């Protein structure tokens, strides 16, 4: 795989890191990789042996068809087995491994004076109480629960409570608009919605409950009001008197439907028998942008996702007992699902759960938190790195970052300049950078370095993870060998790959399997260099990536043309220094339409609710009827 005399500059792991690493060198990686492909049955069975199974599997570790010409596409892992992921990530640690007193999360709020510590046994008891409340609200196995919560511990409690009782969680990022929330509630037909009264994002107070009520009203207008109960958390920052601004927050209330979290939990039992689920029962739905504009409900199932997130977390972050791990993503995205909740908890890890933003109340917030909790493994997005790079090294120098051992990135290609800065300024030249390529659909990392094994090239996601077999195809579907550039595809499944799009298997097959029969098509372009390293070149469909968040041009175009004055809209991507890409929207008005501030504001509103991004408008002097809008998340 690697040519030792490669002409590229390589970064090698230190002997110190290699000494106690799970995969200590390239040969070990290659050997395990070979085993995972040649003997997947044995490889994955060994992983499964670490977990609790109420009933063993009757089928093989993996069964599948990836070829549309041969019938339906399917993937199954450990058919016949019964288990519960919540039991495995909590009870197993507390009951069988005496980890009850170990810290599961250090929660750090938007404001530095807001923080709390949650141990594994506390987490288990919160989860059980929440699970009992959900059951009492009538939620049963297979029912969907929508969750629209900021990064507070109740978000983790609720998702695990769903997993415990076999309900399917559908988390909607709490920065999304009422329109997006409504669309997702309708698609899942959730009976219960869990939210909070409000949240501070930086300086800004957001009235979440009001957005929820607007969403529910929109659902009713569309004659689809599945939600019967809305469980509302009082945000910790809005509980105290010092959060005096909370007085400004009017929480709309419907006593038929709305229930305060604290009141519901009071008296709810701390014991809750898990629902024993089939390996292939659904665990969650998470929406991701689709090129037609309608978001796709990616569905993951219990056993395969558990094995895969657990194993990738263990190896990619080389997890060890004393680690303090921090992933800065929001749980509303797949990165948070896999690498804040399920992967770390499956390993009994201690994580930081951070609600805030990188520059509030000051630009050294990330570094301050690393020092405060002595973070050893740090995982963030290139967009955050590029943002913080702009402030230079001074904010970093105020803090002790000597605890760091591994740093990682996710969500978009990282440019070599940002990689170098991350490696030198943050990782102090000592920490390998794991550039992890994956997707909502893949469930976990699929191309990634292993920190003690893989010589690194800045900007390359390097090699496939265990069980993953990538290929590069040309436009005609011919496989390219050696040095090549083309479509990145995968020839076979791994346990954590999505199983379908919720209630739309046809779209699942058309989107991912039709173009090149026999392969899962990622939608990303990729180059393999002469040393066998993979370099993601970015999306090659109508998707773009703003600050690590995928969105489709069609989605924004459809929203803009809803405006009565708009004749046509065309949305394209443009490189952006910090956010990777941003949107430029070309809008032609109808003859009757007049360009003025009001139209611009209305268009911004429409664009924002579709792409859930904040839109900035600029008017080009030479463009009479064409307004150019640049949109960006954050």
Give contact residues for ligand WTA (rule: CB under 6 A): 288, 333-335, 410-413, 435-440, 461, 522-524, 536, 539, 545, 550
Taking residue 517's Cβ as centre, other Cβ atoms within 10 Å add up to: 13
As measured in angstroms, the least distance from the Cβ of 556 to ligand WTA is: 17
As measured in angstroms, the least distance from the Cβ of 192 to ligand WTA is: 26
Q: Of 155 and 279, which CB lies nearer to ligand WTA in the complex structure?
A: 155
Q: Of 125 and 436, which CB lies nearer to ligand WTA in the complex structure?
A: 436
Q: Of 124 and 414, which CB lies nearer to ligand WTA in the complex structure?
A: 414
The answer to whether 318 and 451 have CB atoms below 8 angstroms apart is yes
Residue 526 to residues 459, 463, 503, Cα–Cα distance (Å): 12, 12, 31
Q: Of 236 and 427, which CB lies nearer to ligand WTA in the complex structure?
A: 427
**Residue with the two structure tokens 């070979």:** 34
Q: Which helix (H) or strand (E) holds 213?
A: helix 208-221
Instruction: Output the CA torsion sign for 298, 345, 180, 597.
Output: negative
As measured in angstroms, the least distance from the Cβ of 223 to ligand WTA is: 31
For residue 512, list its beta bridge partners. Answer: none
The answer to whether 518 and 267 have CB atoms below 8 angstroms apart is no
The answer to whether 306 and 343 have CB atoms below 8 angstroms apart is no
Question: Using DSSP, how many helices (H) and how many strands (E) does the chain show?
Answer: 20, 32
Q: Angle 40-48/302-316 helices, nearest 10 degrees?
A: 90
Q: Of 348 and 411, which CB lies nearer to ligand WTA in the complex structure?
A: 411
CA distance 192 to 257: 9
Q: Of 198 and 382, which CB lies nearer to ligand WTA in the complex structure?
A: 382
Structure tokens at 338: 């896999």
Q: Of 132 and 380, which CB lies nearer to ligand WTA in the complex structure?
A: 380
Using Cβ positions, the residue closest to ligand WTA within the complex turns out to be 440
Q: Of 540 and 625, which CB lies nearer to ligand WTA in the complex structure?
A: 540
Q: Of 187 and 412, which CB lies nearer to ligand WTA in the complex structure?
A: 412
As measured in angstroms, the least distance from the Cβ of 435 to ligand WTA is: 5
Structure tokens at 218: 């929109």
The answer to whether 561 and 568 have CB atoms below 8 angstroms apart is yes
Q: Of 237 and 316, which CB lies nearer to ligand WTA in the complex structure?
A: 316
Q: Of 60 and 525, which CB lies nearer to ligand WTA in the complex structure?
A: 525
As measured in angstroms, the least distance from the Cβ of 70 to ligand WTA is: 26
CA distance 153 to 520: 35
As measured in angstroms, the least distance from the Cβ of 455 to ligand WTA is: 17
The answer to whether 430 and 447 have CB atoms below 8 angstroms apart is no
Q: Of 110 and 545, which CB lies nearer to ligand WTA in the complex structure?
A: 545
As measured in angstroms, the least distance from the Cβ of 565 to ligand WTA is: 33
CA distance 613 to 607: 7
As measured in angstroms, the least distance from the Cβ of 308 to ligand WTA is: 13
CA distance 152 to 606: 29
Cite the DSSP H helix spans in 137-207: 153-165, 178-188
As measured in angstroms, the least distance from the Cβ of 385 to ligand WTA is: 12
Q: Of 61 and 550, which CB lies nearer to ligand WTA in the complex structure?
A: 550
Q: Of 147 and 461, which CB lies nearer to ligand WTA in the complex structure?
A: 461
Indicate left, alpha or beta for 155 from its phi (over 0: left) and psi (-120 to 50: alpha). alpha
**Residue with the two structure tokens 């050294």:** 364
CA distance 558 to 607: 9
Q: Of 127 and 431, which CB lies nearer to ligand WTA in the complex structure?
A: 431
As measured in angstroms, the least distance from the Cβ of 535 to ligand WTA is: 9
CB neighbour list of residue 603: distance below 8 Å, 6 or more residues apart: 560, 563, 566, 585, 587, 615, 617, 627, 629
CA atoms within 13 A on the CB side of 408: 32
As measured in angstroms, the least distance from the Cβ of 621 to ligand WTA is: 34
Closest CA relative to residue 67, chosen from 491, 473, 497, 489: 491
Residue 126 to residues 33, 117, 123, 266, Cα–Cα distance (Å): 39, 13, 5, 11
Q: Burial level of 237, CB count in 10 A (0-12/13-18/19+)? A: buried
**Residue with the two structure tokens 């309900």:** 167
Closest CA relative to residue 332, chosen from 159, 108, 171: 171
As measured in angstroms, the least distance from the Cβ of 45 to ligand WTA is: 27
CA distance 509 to 66: 9
As measured in angstroms, the least distance from the Cβ of 463 to ligand WTA is: 13
As measured in angstroms, the least distance from the Cβ of 518 to ligand WTA is: 20
CA atoms within 13 A on the CB side of 563: 29
| Strands of 463-511, DSSP E | 470-473, 479-480, 484-490, 500-501
As measured in angstroms, the least distance from the Cβ of 461 to ligand WTA is: 5
Q: Of 114 and 312, which CB lies nearer to ligand WTA in the complex structure?
A: 312
As measured in angstroms, the least distance from the Cβ of 537 to ligand WTA is: 8
Q: Angle 553-560/597-611 helices, nearest 10 degrees?
A: 140
């Amino acid at each position: 795989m690697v040519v030792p005399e490669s002409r590229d500059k390589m970064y090698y792991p230190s002997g110190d890191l290699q000494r106690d690493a799970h995969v200590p060198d390239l040969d070990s990686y290659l050997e395990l990789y070979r085993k995972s492909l040649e003997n997947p049955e044995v490889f994955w069975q060994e992983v499964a042996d670490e977990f609790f199974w109420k009933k063993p599997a009757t089928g093989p570790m993996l069964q599948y068809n990836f070829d549309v010409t041969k019938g339906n596409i399917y993937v199954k892992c450990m058919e016949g087995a019964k288990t519960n992921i919540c039991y495995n990530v909590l009870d197993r640690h507390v009951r069988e491994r005496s980890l009850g007193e170990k810290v599961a999360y250090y929660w750090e709020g938007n404001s530095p004076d807001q923080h709390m510590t949650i141990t594994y046994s506390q987490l288990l008891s919160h989860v059980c109480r929440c699970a009992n409340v959900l059951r009492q609200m009538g939620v049963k196995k297979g029912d969907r629960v929508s969750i629209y919560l900021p990064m507070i511990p109740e978000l983790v409690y609720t998702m695990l409570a769903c997993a415990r009782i076999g309900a399917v969680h559908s988390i909607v990022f709490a920065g999304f608009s009422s329109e997006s929330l409504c669309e997702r509630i309708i698609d899942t037909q959730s009976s219960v919605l869990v939210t909070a009264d409000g949240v501070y994002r930086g300086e800004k107070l957001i009235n979440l409950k009001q957005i929820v009520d607007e969403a529910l009203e929109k659902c009713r207008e569309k004659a689809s009001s599945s939600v019967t109960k809305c469980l509302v958390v009082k945000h910790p920052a809005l509980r105290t008197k010092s959060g005096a601004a909370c007085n400004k927050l009017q929480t709309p209330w419907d006593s038929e439907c709305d229930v305060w979290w604290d009141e519901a939990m009071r008296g709810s039992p701390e014991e809750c028998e898990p629902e024993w689920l089939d390996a292939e029962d659904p665990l969650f739905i998470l929406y991701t942008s689709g090129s037609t504009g309608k978001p796709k409900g990616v569905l993951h199932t219990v056993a395969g996702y558990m094995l895969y997130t657990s194993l990738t977390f263990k190896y990619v972050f080389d997890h060890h007992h004393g680690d303090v791990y921090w992933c800065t993503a929001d749980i509303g995205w797949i990165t948070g699902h896999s690498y804040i909740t399920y992967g770390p908890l499956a390993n009994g890890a201690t994580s930081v759960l951070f609600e805030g933003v990188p520059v509030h109340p000051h630009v050294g917030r990330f570094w301050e938190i690393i020092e405060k909790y002595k973070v050893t493994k740090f995982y963030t997005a290139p967009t955050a790195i590029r943002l913080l790079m702009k402030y230079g090294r001074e904010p970093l120098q105020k803090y002790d970052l000597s605890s760091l051992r591994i740093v990682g990135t996710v969500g978009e290609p990282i440019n070599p300049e940002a990689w170098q800065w991350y490696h030198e300024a943050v990782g102090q030249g000592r920490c390998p950078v794991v550039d992890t390529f994956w997707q909502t659909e893949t469930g976990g990392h699929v191309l990634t370095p292993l920190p003690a094994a893989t010589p690194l090239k800045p900007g390359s996601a390097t090699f496939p993870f265990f069980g993953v077999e990538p290929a590069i195809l040309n436009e005609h579907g011919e496989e390219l060998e050696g040095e090549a550039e083309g479509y990145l595809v995968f020839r076979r499944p791994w346990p954590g790959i999505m199983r379908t799009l919720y209630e739309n298997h046809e779209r699942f097959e058309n989107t991912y399997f039709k173009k090149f029969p026999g392969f899962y098509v990622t939608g990303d372009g990729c180059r393999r260099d002469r040393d066998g390293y993979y370099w993601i070149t970015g999306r090659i469909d109508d998707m773009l990536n703003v600050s690590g968040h995928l969105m489709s041009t069609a989605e924004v175009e459809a929203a803009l043309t809803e405006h009565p004055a708009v004749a046509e809209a065309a949305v394209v991507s443009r490189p952006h220094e910090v956010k990777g890409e941003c949107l430029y929207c070309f809008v032609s008005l109808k003859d009757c339409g007049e360009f003025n501030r009001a139209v611009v504001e209305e268009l911004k509103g429409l664009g924002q609710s579709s792409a859930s991004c904040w839109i900035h408008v600029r008017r080009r002097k030479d463009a009479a009827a064409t307004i150019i809008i640049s949109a960006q998340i954050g």
